[in-house]
Amino acid sequence: MKLIHISMRQQQGEVREEGADIPSLTKQEIEVSLKKFETDSGLPIERLYSRSITGPEKLGEPGKFPFTRGIYPEMYREKLWTMRQYGGFGNARDTNKRFKYLLSHGETGLSVAFDLPTQLGLDSDDARAQGEVGKVGVAISTLENMQTLFESIPIDQISTSMTINSTASTMLSMYIGAAEAQGVSRKVLRGTTQNDMLKEYAARNTYIYPPDESFNLAIDIIGFCSKEMPKWHPISISGYHMREAGANAVQELAYTFSNAVEYVNAVVARGNPIDSFCKQLSFFFACRNDFFEEIAKFRAARRIWAHIVKERFHSDDDDSAKIKFHVQTSGETLTAQQPEVNVIRVSLQALAAVLGGAQSLHTNSKDEALGLPTEEAVTLALRTQQIIAHETGVTKTVDPVGGSYYLETLTDELEARALKEFERVQKMGGSLEAIKSGYIQSEIQKSAYDFQKEVDAKKRIVVGVNKYNEDRGKSKIKALSISKASVREQISSLEKFRRFRDHKKLESSLDRLRTEASKSASERQNLMPFIIEATKQHATTGEIGKALREAFGEYHPRSKF
């Protein structure tokens, strides 16, 4: 390429390349050519891509290792992704109505949001739960609540995802009990418990017990489901929450797979061969606004996980190396300012998730920066998925954007950078040690800070927030509110539930759970059967939480300040 000589003619807005017989470059063209373009994660973007590092042999075929182009040969031509809308508010009856509403409007899988008291192992009438009952999810304190949540819903025909972590073992036990009340065996149940405790300490912070105890309880669930619930995903290893806390795409991949390796190591150490459980693992990623980077991220994720399973854990089964992941559009990118514009953000994020080959998808509602979504808003969010599925044509061919010079280069670069950060964590002793040292949290915080600085300086434009924000009036969208009557009904039903129990059997089951949980991890049995037995004796969420608190203790992180 010939050097560009910039002369005084710049002042007239024209620059010529010495010896060139091509048209002059204007001053504006020179400025653009010298400008630095990057993805959200800082990957450099060239002016033009005419080749990719990735050759056809690395891309492979859809359905074949390393699954860059998709984990199934026909992908959406054969079966669409599962359409889920994350839902839960008030008491179980309120949320049951919302579930039925969504299913009647075309939702194909349920996704349960639990309120904070439930997530933290507290009953709805606990003093610490006051003001939070039913606010950010449904209140589930009893087996009876869980039965009401799925009343008249065929639990054997629907896939249910539960966003629950510290109390995942309790909610799964109650779900098993609700299924049995419908005459459904646990062996046929399909769905997911999130159960990813490592990301709780790294980003989300709804933990109860110390990291080691929480981690071991998560491993108990994986071990139990691999033997008792073959169609259930016992864990959803979640990059989503780290991304929402500020991680960039590279960090999201690196830390998600670092956590995954930590879980797999622990399950294998308990004597379970990799191919006896790996097919049941699932993953959960965010999808933000950098359209091509997000598509590339999902392609890189498939390739990274495939190589980890084959090369690190020596799996002999290609099905174990297929990453199955759920995507949620980014709630953190939604704005309270001009909330109607969120519809466009969600649409583009959902399209990127589909082009990236997701197995399951949730689309956020336009009003979620203001409160819980209304029926009108959640219907529109579901319709977004349905339009992508049935009207855009993107499901008619497998991997419609594969082979793009730009996309494949991004995929290679994301894979390389994510693996570099992944190896850095491995050298620290793995995710658990990196989290205990505060490294992962610190890196995520730095990324979040850098992002916000760019927004504040208007180097990164957020429409309606730091530019095009002439509409400063209040939004006309009315947020969903939780009725006080709903909360009173929840607490009243809990009081009645406690009266009609065999307290001797109840206390005996809680004592057995507490005693077993108090043993060292190397000596104790899997706790899931003990928790299931306690729920059968009508122990509440808070009572099981109390027994485990007494055995494990509570975790209170030390402040660095």
User: Which is it for strands 282-287 and 232-233: parallel, antiparallel or unpaired?
Assistant: unpaired
Q: What is the pLDDT of residues 109-154, one digit of tens each?
A: 999 999 999 999 999 999 999 999 999 999 999 999 999 999 999 9
Rounded average pLDDT over 296-312: 98
Rounded average pLDDT over 88-117: 97
- For 356, the 3-state DSSP assignment is coil
Asked whether the predicted pLDDT for residue 174 surpasses 50, the reply is yes
DSSP state of 483: -
d(CA 300, CA 341): 30
Q: Which of 1-5, 364-368, 414-418 has the lowest mean pLDDT?
A: 1-5
DSSP state of 9: G
Q: What are the angstrom distances between the C-alpha of 32 and each of 27, 36, 44, 47, 381?
A: 9, 8, 14, 10, 37
Where are the strands (E) in 114-229, listed by range?
159-163, 190-193
Type and span of the H or E element at 454: helix 439-456
Contact 434, 440 (CB under 8 A): yes
Q: How much is the pLDDT for 55?
A: 61
- What average pLDDT does the chain have? 92
User: Which is it for strands 236-238 and 282-287: parallel, antiparallel or unpaired?
Assistant: parallel
Q: How much is the pLDDT for 12?
A: 38
Q: Helices (DSSP H) in 391-438: which residue ranges?
A: 405-427, 431-436
User: Which is it for strands 325-329 and 282-287: parallel, antiparallel or unpaired?
Assistant: parallel
d(CA 303, CA 287): 18
Asked whether the predicted pLDDT for residue 31 surpasses 90, the reply is no
Q: What is the pLDDT of residues 243-254, one digit of tens each?
A: 999 999 999 999
Site of tokens 């450099």? 44
Asked whether the predicted pLDDT for residue 304 surpasses 60, the reply is yes
Q: How much is the pLDDT for 19?
A: 42
Q: Helices (DSSP H) in 185-337: which residue ranges?
A: 197-199, 211-228, 240-244, 249-269, 291-307
d(CA 46, CA 483): 54
The residue ranking higher by pLDDT, 2 or 375, is 375
Q: Amino acid letter at 343? A: V
d(CA 239, CA 259): 9
Q: How much is the pLDDT for 18?
A: 41
Asked whether the predicted pLDDT for residue 14 surpasses 50, the reply is no
User: Which is it for strands 25-26 and 14-15: parallel, antiparallel or unpaired?
Assistant: antiparallel
Q: What is the pLDDT of residues 212-265, one digit of tens each?
A: 999 999 999 999 999 999 999 999 999 999 999 999 999 999 999 999 999 999
Q: Structure pTM?
A: 0.91
Nearest to 141 by CA among 503, 502, 491, 556: 491
Residue 333 backbone dihedrals phi, psi, to 5 degrees: -85, -10
Q: What is the pLDDT of residues 273-291, one digit of tens each?
A: 999 999 999 999 999 999 9
Q: How much is the pLDDT for 20?
A: 43
- For 509, the 3-state DSSP assignment is helix
CB neighbours of 200 closer than 8 A, spacing ≥ 6? Answer: 165, 166, 206, 207, 214, 241
Query: What angle separates helix 249-269 from helix 439-456, to the nearest 10 degrees?
Result: 160
In DSSP terms, 163 is beta-bridged to: 113
CATH number 3.20.20.240 is the correct assignment for the domain at 194-342+401-459: yes
Residue 352 backbone dihedrals phi, psi, to 5 degrees: -65, -40
Asked whether the predicted pLDDT for residue 7 surpasses 50, the reply is no
In DSSP terms, 94 is beta-bridged to: none
CB neighbours of 80 closer than 8 A, spacing ≥ 6? Answer: 108, 389, 395
